[in-house]
Each structure stands twice: as structure tokens, then as C-alpha cells.
């Protein structure tokens, strides 16, 4: 079980990272927002980088829970399960004010200056794509997508397109880019 102070820092800090990015996340602002003494922060985290990496881990636990919920729902066909995951994610973005994806935001901000963050974000996006690929393989076997489809390639493409649409969604403050991307992807995927 995570210590309550650490959890409060991660919860608040994750939202601040999403809104302001890594470079504009001030430790003092985080401490003020959570009412946490500076010593408590450094008791739980060695530095700001370690904090942000743990915030990404927490974000990924939430992503994996959503993937489990949607992709594991055997009552629906595989393509519906995959789309449902992205629709739930879209709803989360709406609730957060269309701030987009934490991974995409940090990847854009830090991948050119931090190999640690570049590798971390790439690993996380790859994990998501691999989970989706398994469901797309089920769709291929069931005839929902063409038999000669490459589920891994389709999953990587879906994640990449989603990240671009998430950026446009943030820029516009609207779900339209996300919805249009999903409609296009799933119409193109099922073409025979």
C-alpha cells in the first residue's frame, strides 16, 4: 500500500504534469497544492525526475486497468472492445478539459533532451500497442478485419494516430479530432 502522502503527491502531481508539463512543474507549487512539507517529498522521491517517472507508472496502472476492463469484455466483439477503450479514454480527456495524453505530452516535451524519459514513454506506448494487438489478432481470426492484416502493425498505427489526435484535441479543446480519427481508423481497418 502506498503511503497517503506519497499518493497525494502523485495524484496532484499527475494532474499538474498533464496541465503544465515537466519543465513547468515546480516542486514548490506541488508542495503548496498538497500541503506537504519539502522533507516529505524527498522522503518519497529522490528528485523531480524520479517523481515524474513514478507519476507515469501510476498513469500506466490506470491505463492498464482501462485496457483490462475493455479488452477483457468477452461479451463484445474484439473491434468493439478496442474502440471502447479509446472511447473511455476520450471521456477521461473530456473530464480533464482535453489536456490530452500524459505520455504524448511528456514525450514531446522531453524525448529530445532526456533519454530516460524517451525510453520510458516509448516503453509505455509499446505496452499499450501490444495489448491492443492481442485483441486485434482475435478480430483477425474472427474475420472482423482482413486475414492478411498485421495486428501488431495496426495496433502501433492506432496508438500513433491516437497520440496525434490527442494533441489536436488539446489544441482545439474539443473531442472532434479524437472521434474523427477513431471513425477513420475503424472504417479503414475493416475494409476488405
Residue pair 64/175 in contact by the 8 Å Cβ criterion = no
Q: Does the reported pTM lie above 0.85? A: yes
Residues 119-165 pLDDT 10s: 999 999 999 999 999 999 999 999 999 999 999 999 999 999 999 99
**In-domain check, residue 173:** yes
C-alpha cell at 82: 478496442
pLDDT attached to residue 113: 95
C-alpha cell at 177: 479530432
pLDDT attached to residue 189: 87
Q: Domain count for the chain, please give it.
A: 1
Residue pair 5/49 in contact by the 8 Å Cβ criterion = no
Q: 10 Å Cβ neighbour count for 20?
A: 14
C-alpha to C-alpha distance for 56 and 189, rounded to whole angstroms: 30
Q: Which CATH number do you get for residue 65? A: 1.10.357.10
pLDDT, mean of residues 176-191: 93
**In-domain check, residue 135:** yes
Amino acid at each position: 500500500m502506498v503511503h497517503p502522502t506519497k499518493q497525494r503527491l502523485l495524484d496532484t502531481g499527475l494532474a499538474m504534469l498533464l496541465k503544465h508539463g515537466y519543465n513547468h512543474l515546480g516542486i514548490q507549487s506541488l508542495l503548496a497544492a498538497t500541503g506537504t512539507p519539502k522533507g516529505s517529498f524527498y522522503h518519497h522521491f529522490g528528485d523531480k525526475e524520479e517523481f515524474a517517472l513514478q507519476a507515469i507508472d501510476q498513469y500506466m496502472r490506470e491505463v492498464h486497468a482501462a485496457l483490462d476492463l475493455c479488452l477483457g469484455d468477452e461479451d463484445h466483439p474484439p473491434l468493439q472492445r478496442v474502440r471502447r477503450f479509446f472511447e473511455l479514454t476520450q471521456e477521461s480527456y473530456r473530464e480533464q478539459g482535453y489536456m490530452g495524453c500524459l505520455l504524448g505530452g511528456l514525450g514531446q516535451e522531453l524525448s529530445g533532451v532526456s533519454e530516460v524519459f524517451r525510453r520510458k514513454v516509448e516503453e509505455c506506448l509499446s505496452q499499450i500497442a501490444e495489448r491492443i494487438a492481442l485483441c486485434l489478432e482475435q478480430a483477425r481470426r474472427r474475420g472482423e478485419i482482413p486475414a492478411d492484416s498485421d495486428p501488431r502493425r495496426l495496433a502501433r498505427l492506432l496508438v500513433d494516430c491516437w497520440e496525434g489526435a490527442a494533441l489536436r484535441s488539446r489544441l482545439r479543446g474539443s473531442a472532434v479530432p479524437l472521434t474523427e480519427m477513431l471513425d477513420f481508423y475503424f472504417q479503414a481497418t475493416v475494409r476488405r
